[in-house]
């Protein structure tokens, strides 16, 4: 090997993450990545490898993209290539943000074709969903005679915590012998040898959660006559302060908490502060008052977590939980809505498991058309009896509003029997009204004259008034209906 190759390995920068809804924290993530790039230029490394999750979101804002371009442009100016893969946070269906930067000449997306850097060949595998790991296609990797072969991935790997893809299985299936796997996705620094291959996570460049207590860092990969070496470099980031306030008694809890906070008073300026309250008390504390006290000490973000053990009935006695039938609960709500026949039809169609979502529109149109065909819009009054099957749950829900004797009858005859009887009553009422509607104007006028003939005459030749004539001859005007009244 003619000369030593040094590669800066970073990952999980999560640019654009507005942690705790704080613009200052959003800027912290950019500052951490900027520090990594600045170190790469100062150390004059041969390349910067980013192992995924450059952005926190697959849809970063335009401001986030422009700030990223400003940070990585100096790498191009100084001739340091930025090599990357796509992480799970930023992954899009088609073109990736990394492709955009490649088109701009600011980065190179690693893949199955190796990127050659002296005697080093670098391959890349974008983030693979857990469900697709067993079927990953290992074919297509181009071979090379280079001395060192590195693989860059964004994956949770075994034997590390939360591993989803076994390193040994991966190495066995690769068509080349990897000297090192440079990883991203796990935010804690890790380095381990699996067989003859070094496997390492550099950790994230900023703390993405309160659980990330260790210092943030990146790796330097050195390849030369002495072999392959991985070293860690820490980053200076915003302080996260962890305070435990243990309450000893019921008296003056706030004074105990404030005293615990004051022990860190010299470190609180600009820090993200986490206060965990423990102990035994039944007093409910105001988090707002505690947060205000921390902010007044100069902290950037206060976070409170109450871990107190509060005595409760549920902790001493068996907790019984009952669940309502969802169909019955829905039927109760539908009953209170007092829907029309059209509304009930639509409700039944939407909730019918036998009607697919793609057929809801056509089924509703068919049922409503049948409803409209049966309605006589010229009649002064009408009632439509829906033939759409009414669920027993709905009938049962309606029975809850009837009297106690009726409930007893329902118990004896059954819900379905009562429903059938009610259906018959409604049908009889409809037929009766239909008979009334079928009467001709002549029959109506004859019925109106009959009582007059039986009544005693007031005069021999009564002269009907003009208004009375009009009243006899006038036929009721057809009532106007709106289709919306039945939906």
Q: pLDDT tens digits for 281-316? A: 667 788 899 999 999 999 999 999 988 755 444 444
Residue 108 and residue 126 share a domain: yes
Structure-block tokens of residue 172 = 């066995």
Across all residues in the chain, what is the average pLDDT? Answer: 81
Looking up tokens 């260790």 gives 214
E-strand spans in 310-443?
Answer: none
User: pLDDT-derived band of residue 112, with 50, 70 and 90 as boundaries?
Assistant: very high
Q: Is 89 one of the annotated active-site residues of the chain? A: yes
- From the list 9, 14, 50, 89, the catalytic residue is 89
Rounded mean pLDDT of 36-53?
96
**Tens-digit pLDDT profile for residues 355-411:** 776 777 778 888 888 887 777 666 655 554 444 444 444 445 444 544 555 555 555
Residue 352 and residue 203 share a domain: no
Q: Are 12 and 184 in contact (CB under 8 A)?
A: yes
Domain with 278, as residue range(s), is: 240-316
Q: Are 162 and 170 in contact (CB under 8 A)?
A: no
Structure-block tokens of residue 114 = 């190796």
Indicate if the pLDDT at residue 471 is higher than 50.
no
Residue 211 and residue 275 share a domain: no
User: pLDDT-derived band of residue 441, with 50, 70 and 90 as boundaries?
Assistant: low
Q: How many domains does the chain have?
A: 3
Residue 351 and residue 409 share a domain: yes
Residue 20 and residue 155 share a domain: yes
Residue 279 and residue 142 share a domain: no
Q: What is the pLDDT of residue 145?
A: 87
**Tens-digit pLDDT profile for residues 130-169:** 999 999 999 999 999 888 999 999 999 999 999 999 999 9
In a domain, 362, yes or no: yes
Q: Are 96 and 89 in contact (CB under 8 A)?
A: no
Residues 6+ apart with CB under 8 A from 438: none
In a domain, 413, yes or no: yes
In a domain, 107, yes or no: yes
Rounded mean pLDDT of 191-209?
95
Q: What is the pLDDT of residue 35?
A: 97
What CA–CA distance (Å, rounded) separates 459 from 453? 13
What CA–CA distance (Å, rounded) separates 396 from 399? 5
- Return the SS3 of 267: helix
pTM for the model: 0.64
């Amino acid at each position: 090997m003619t000369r030593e190759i040094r590669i800066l390995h970073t990952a999980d920068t999560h640019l654009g993450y507005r942690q705790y809804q704080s613009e200052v924290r959003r800027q912290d993530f950019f500052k951490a990545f900027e520090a990594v790039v600045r170190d790469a230029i100062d150390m004059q490394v041969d390349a910067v490898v980013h192992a995924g999750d450059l952005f926190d979101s697959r849809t970063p804002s335009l401001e986030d993209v422009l700030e990223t371009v400003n940070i990585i442009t100096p790498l191009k100016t100084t001739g340091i290539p930025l090599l990357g893969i796509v992480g799970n946070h930023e992954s899009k269906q088609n073109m990736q943000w990394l492709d955009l930067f490649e088109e701009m000449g600011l980065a190179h997306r690693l893949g199955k074709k190796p990127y050659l850097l002296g005697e080093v060949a670098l391959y890349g595998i974008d983030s693979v969903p857990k469900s697709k790991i067993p079927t990953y296609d290992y074919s297509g990797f181009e071979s090379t005679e280079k001395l060192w072969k590195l693989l860059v991935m964004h994956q949770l790997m075994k034997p590390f915590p939360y591993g989803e893809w076994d390193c040994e299985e991966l190495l066995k299936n690769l068509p080349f012998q990897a000297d090192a796997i440079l990883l991203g996705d796990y935010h804690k620094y890790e380095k381990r040898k699996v067989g003859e291959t070094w496997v390492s996570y550099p950790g994230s460049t900023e703390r993405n959660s309160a659980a990330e207590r260790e210092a943030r860092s990146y790796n330097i990969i050195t390849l030369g006559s002495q072999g392959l070496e991985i070293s860690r470099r820490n980053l200076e980031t915003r302080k996260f302060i962890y305070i435990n306030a243990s309450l000893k008694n019921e008296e003056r809890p706030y004074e105990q908490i404030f005293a615990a906070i004051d022990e860190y008073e010299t470190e609180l300026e600009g820090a993200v502060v986490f206060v965990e309250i423990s102990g035994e008390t039944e007093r409910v504390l105001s988090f707002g008052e505690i947060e205000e006290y921390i902010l007044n000490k100069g902290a950037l973000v206060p976070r409170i977590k109450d871990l107190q053990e509060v005595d409760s009935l549920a902790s001493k006695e068996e907790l019984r939980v009952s669940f309502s039938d969802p169909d019955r609960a829905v039927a109760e709500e539908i009953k209170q809505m007092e829907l029309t026949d059209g509304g009930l039809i639509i409700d039944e169609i939407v909730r019918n498991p036998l009607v697919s979502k793609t057929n809801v529109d056509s089924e509703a149109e068919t049922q409503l058309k049948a409803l409209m065909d049966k309605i006589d819009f010229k009649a002064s009054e009408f009632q439509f009896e829906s033939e759409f099957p009414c669920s027993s749950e709905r009938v049962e829900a309606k029975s809850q509003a009837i009297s106690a004797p009726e409930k007893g009858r329902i118990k004896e005859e059954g819900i379905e029997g009562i429903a059938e009887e009610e259906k018959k009553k409604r049908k009889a009422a409809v037929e009766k009204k239909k008979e009334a509607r079928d009467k001709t104007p002549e029959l109506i006028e004859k019925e109106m004259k009959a009582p007059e003939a039986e009544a005693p005459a007031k005069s021999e030749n009564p002269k009907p008034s003009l208004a009375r004539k009009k009243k006899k001859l006038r036929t009721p005007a057809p009532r106007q209906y709106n289709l919306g009244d039945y939906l």
